[in-house]
Amino acid sequence: MNKQHSLEQALNALQPQHLEVLDESHMHSRGQETHYKAVIVSEQFNGLNRVKRHQQVYAVLGDLMQQVHALALHTYTADEWQQQSAAPDSPRCQGGSKHDH
């Protein structure tokens, strides 16, 4: 099982209405399966600020976080997602992407 699938399986504990885990490693120079972006829409985020939402995600992922160099989290309630309907694009790698010239 690859890391992306493992992340998705673990994040299902949040009972997401929408879950998207993207492997963005190709945008970075640290190798494969190192950089991910997760878009999570869950009613479990109701009433929680961004820090509390991220703590909840980290708790669900547990030891998987040690296998990932970077994880961009975009956490929304259903109402927020309905208004937003898309997560922002990830910024370009500041650490020197293999695609930079």
Asked whether residue 96 is domain-assigned, the answer is no
Asked whether residue 98 is domain-assigned, the answer is no
Report the greatest alpha carbon distance in the chain: 44
Asked whether residue 99 is domain-assigned, the answer is no
3-state secondary structure of 13: helix
**Number of domains composing the chain:** 1
Among 32-46, 47-61, 67-81, 86-100, the range with the most confident prediction by mean pLDDT is 47-61
Asked whether residue 100 is domain-assigned, the answer is no
pLDDT at 97: 44
pTM above 0.85, yes or no: no
Chain-wide mean pLDDT for the chain? 85
pLDDT at 35 over 90: no
pLDDT at 18: 96
Q: How far is CA 24 from CA 32, 36, 47, 89, in A?
A: 9, 5, 30, 11
Q: How many helices (H) and strands (E) does the chain have?
A: 3, 3
Domain containing 62 — which CATH number?
3.30.300.90
pLDDT at 54: 97
pLDDT at 70: 84
Asked whether residue 92 is domain-assigned, the answer is no
Asked whether residue 63 is domain-assigned, the answer is yes
Asked whether residue 93 is domain-assigned, the answer is no
- Rounded to 5°, the CA angle 6-76-81 comes to 115
Q: Which domain holds residue 37?
A: 3-84
pLDDT digits (tens, 9 = 90+) for 5-26: 999 999 999 999 999 999 887 6
Q: Could you tell me which residues come within 8 angstroms of residue 67 by beta carbon, excluding any fewer than 6 positions away?
A: 3
Asked whether residue 91 is domain-assigned, the answer is no
